[in-house]
Amino acid sequence: MSNTSQREFPAWRLDTSDIDAEALPLLADVDVVVVGAGAAGVAAATIAAEAGCTVVLVEKYGFAGGAAVAGMSGTICGLYLASEAPRAPERLVQGFTDRFRSELRRRGGLTDPQRYGKTWTEAHDPLVWRETADALLETAGVRLLFHTGVIAPVMDGDTLRGVVVESNAGRSVVRARRVIDASGDAAVVARAGGATFFGDDGAIQNPTMFFRLGNVDTDAYEDYYGPDTICPPEVTEALEQARERGADLPRSKIWIFRTPRPGELLVNATRLIGRDGRMLNVIDPEDFTEAELYGRRQVREYETFLRANLPGCENSFVVDTGVEAGIRQTRSIVGVDTLRNDDVVACRKRPDGVVRSAWPIELHSGDHPKLTWLYDDFYEVPYQALVPRTGENVIVAGRCLSAQHEALASARVTAQCFEYGHAAAAATLMSLETDTPYRRLDGQDVRARMRLAGSDL
| CA distances to 37, 60, 454 from 244, in Å | 42, 41, 52
Whole-number average pLDDT of the chain: 94
Q: What is the pLDDT, as a whole number, of residue 13? A: 54
Please state, in angstroms and rounded to a whole number, the distance separating the CA atoms of residues 39 and 397: 9
Please state, in angstroms and rounded to a whole number, the distance separating the CA atoms of residues 429 and 363: 34
426-449 pLDDT tens trace = 999 999 999 999 999 999 999 999
| CA distances to 281, 302, 405 from 324, in Å | 13, 18, 23
- Are 381 and 348 in contact by the 8 Å Cβ rule? The answer is no
Global pTM reads 0.95
Three-state secondary-structure class, residue 120 = strand
Strand 26-35 versus strand 55-58 pairing type: parallel
Q: How many beta carbons lie within 10 A of that of residue 169, not counting itself? A: 11
| Angle, CA of 270, 272 and 277, to the nearest 5° | 135
| CA distances to 166, 194, 293, 322, 363 from 335, in Å | 28, 10, 34, 31, 22
209-257 pLDDT tens trace = 999 999 999 999 999 999 999 999 999 999 999 999 999 999 999 999 9
Q: What is the pLDDT, as a whole number, of residue 12? A: 40
Closest alpha carbon to 182 in 395, 334, 338: 395
Average pLDDT over residues 409-438: 97
Strand runs (DSSP E) across 80-169, as ranges?
114-116, 119-123, 143-145, 149-156, 159-167
Residue with the bigger pLDDT between 367 and 410: it is 410
Q: pLDDT band at residue 20, thresholds of 50, 70 and 90?
A: confident
Q: What is the pLDDT, as a whole number, of residue 2? A: 37
Q: How many beta carbons lie within 10 A of that of residue 444, not counting itself? A: 14
Please state, in angstroms and rounded to a whole number, the distance separating the CA atoms of residues 397 and 383: 11
Average pLDDT over residues 169-178: 97
Q: pLDDT band at residue 1, thresholds of 50, 70 and 90?
A: very low
Strand 143-145 versus strand 55-58 pairing type: parallel
Q: pLDDT band at residue 15, thresholds of 50, 70 and 90?
A: low
Residue with the bigger pLDDT between 13 and 447: it is 447
Helix 95-106 crosses helix 414-434 at what angle (to 10 degrees)? Answer: 120
Strand 170-181 versus strand 119-123 pairing type: unpaired
pLDDT for residue 9 is more than 80: no
Q: pLDDT band at residue 367, thresholds of 50, 70 and 90?
A: low
Q: How big is the chain, counted in residues?
A: 457
Average pLDDT over residues 69-77: 96
Average pLDDT over residues 108-122: 97
Contacts of 404 (CB under 8 A, 6+ apart): 200, 338, 339, 340, 341
Q: What is the pLDDT, as a whole number, of residue 205? A: 86
Three-state secondary-structure class, residue 359 = coil
pLDDT for residue 295 is more than 50: yes
Please state, in angstroms and rounded to a whole number, the distance separating the CA atoms of residues 364 and 77: 15
Please state, in angstroms and rounded to a whole number, the distance separating the CA atoms of residues 130 and 227: 28
Average pLDDT over residues 38-62: 98
326-365 pLDDT tens trace = 899 999 999 999 999 999 999 999 999 999 999 999 887 7
Farthest-apart Cα atoms in the chain, separation? 66
Q: Which amino acid is residue 322, in one-letter code?
A: G
Strand runs (DSSP E) across 294-333, as ranges?
317-321, 331-333
Q: What is the pLDDT, as a whole number, of residue 6? A: 45
Residue with the bigger pLDDT between 369 and 116: it is 116
Q: Which of 13-22, 53-62, 269-278 has the highest mean pLDDT?
A: 53-62
368-398 pLDDT tens trace = 678 899 999 999 999 999 999 999 999 999 9
pLDDT for residue 276 is more than 90: no
29 φ, ψ (degrees, to nearest 5): -130, 105
297-317 pLDDT tens trace = 999 999 999 999 999 999 999
Please state, in angstroms and rounded to a whole number, the distance separating the CA atoms of residues 36 and 71: 14
- Give 1: exposed, middle or buried? Use CB within 10 Å, 0-12, 13-18, 19+: middle
| CA distances to 29, 46, 155, 165, 354 from 51, in Å | 17, 9, 26, 25, 19
Please state, in angstroms and rounded to a whole number, the distance separating the CA atoms of residues 41 and 49: 12
2 φ, ψ (degrees, to nearest 5): -70, 145
